[in-house]
Amino acid sequence: MNSGTANKLLTCTFFICCGKPENRGIKEEDFAMLKTLTTVIFALIFILSNDAFALDKNEQVRIFKERIKTLIKQGTIPIIDVEYHHGGKIETDRLIGRMDENGVALTWLGPNEKLGSEESIRQNELHPDRFVPTIVHGDGKLWHGSDKGFLEKLAKDARSGKYFAMGEFEARHYPSSTNNRNVHLPVDSEAMKVVFELSSETGMPFLLHHEAEDELLPELERMLAKYPKAKLIWCHVGRNRNPVTWNKFSKADGVRDLIKKYPNLYFDLVQSKPGSKYHGTGYQDAIMYDVSSWGVSLDAEWEKLFEEFPDRFVIGSDINTGRFGNYDRVMDTFRSIVLKELSKPTAEKIAFKNAWKLMTGKDWED
Ligand SMILES: [Zn+2]
């Protein structure tokens, strides 16, 4: 419906509702009929506009699919980047340049909490074949302070039907290479419950940041068990920042145990440079790689895990403003070390098919 028609209908309603019929020379029964008619018209508008929106989302999915198919035709395995931290300082044209250079078909464009979810919609409107509307990250004072207004807005955004994914939301977060947030909002806190509930209700996946210390696992496991319909992507797996406190996650087996227990748990792969050390502890944290004088390869145990559970892993760049210069290196590591080592069906699932299913709710169809 165009705005002119809407205006006429509103004007009509105004005259019907605001004023007594006898004042305008309308018979009582005609007035009642007009009122009923207006109600019906508005009910129809409501239904039709909802349908129009559903079509919009289908149209978006069609555009995303075209984009992926274009890369397949070029002989590239397309990547869907599920974890990008959009702070508004890197022009999206620059990001698109890096995506194109690296065979990244789509980016879940998660804005930081200050920018708000709408920023992702704005960028999607400008570049509908590149950016997937994604709800804000929980990465600042509002989220960590469990701000009521922030959580209400989050719920409103999630229920709007305009978005495909949510977050990254931070639970336990150590200082990183680009920020010094040393915080812990427990996975079973009230704020996190809001996210788990919204994911269960809408079917949208969400990203979680949580440091994999043994003693921090129970709070996560309680929630995975309590919300079996929530789709949780735990970010940066294949990482260990302290072998003493992260004992269960020192091997691929620890991840395997959780995968077997929780069908609603997914992971994106660690993005640190193979062989690099976490500055907080001095340990080489990307444990899914073998680094030797011969070069870097995917560790055999992790390769086995990916082949055994090919549906549970996705790729996220974890690129933000401060790390933008790492984009090519991160994507090249995924392509030339991880995807190259895997069977083609597994590589395709991890590169884009799993992310596709998480964001659309449907299997990828060639
Ligand atoms: Zn993270």
Same-domain status, 269 and 147: yes
The answer on 284 and 337 residing in a single domain is yes
Query: Is 365 among the domain residues?
Result: no
Q: Is residue 90 part of a domain?
A: yes
Instruction: Answer yes or no: is pLDDT of 7 > 80.
Output: no
- For residue 53, pLDDT over 50 is answered with no
Question: Per the structure, how many domains does the chain have?
Answer: 2
| Local confidence band at 204 (pLDDT 50, 70, 90 cut-offs) | very high
Task: Pull the structure tokens for residue 199.
Answer: 């994911």
Range of the domain at 27: 1-74
Do 206 and 66 fall into the same domain?
Answer: no
pLDDT at 345: 98
Q: At residue 221, does pLDDT exceed 80? A: yes
96 CA from centroid of ligand 1 (Å): 22
Tell me the CA–centroid distance for residue 22 and ligand 1, in Å.
Answer: 66
Compute the distance from residue 235 Cα to the ligand 1 centre, in Å.
Answer: 6
- Over range 119-131, report the average pLDDT: 97
Name residue 174's amino acid: Y
Do both 222 and 300 map to the same domain?
yes
Note the pLDDT tens digit of each residue in 239-258. Answer: 999 999 999 999 999 999 99
Q: Is 366 part of a structural domain of the chain?
A: no
Confidence of residue 138 (pLDDT cuts 50, 70, 90): very high
**Residue 209 C-alpha to ligand 1 middle, in angstroms?**
5
Q: Of 74, 103, 123, which closes a domain?
A: 74
Å from CA of 221 to ligand 1 middle: 18
Ligand 1 centroid distance, CA of 23 (Å):
66
Same domain, residue pair 60 and 87: no
CA 24 to CA 123: how far, in whole Å? 49
Query: Which of 220, 312, 187, 333 has its CA nearest to residue 270?
Result: 333
pTM, to two decimals: 0.85
pLDDT at 54: 44
Q: What is the CATH number of the domain that holds 98?
A: 3.20.20.140
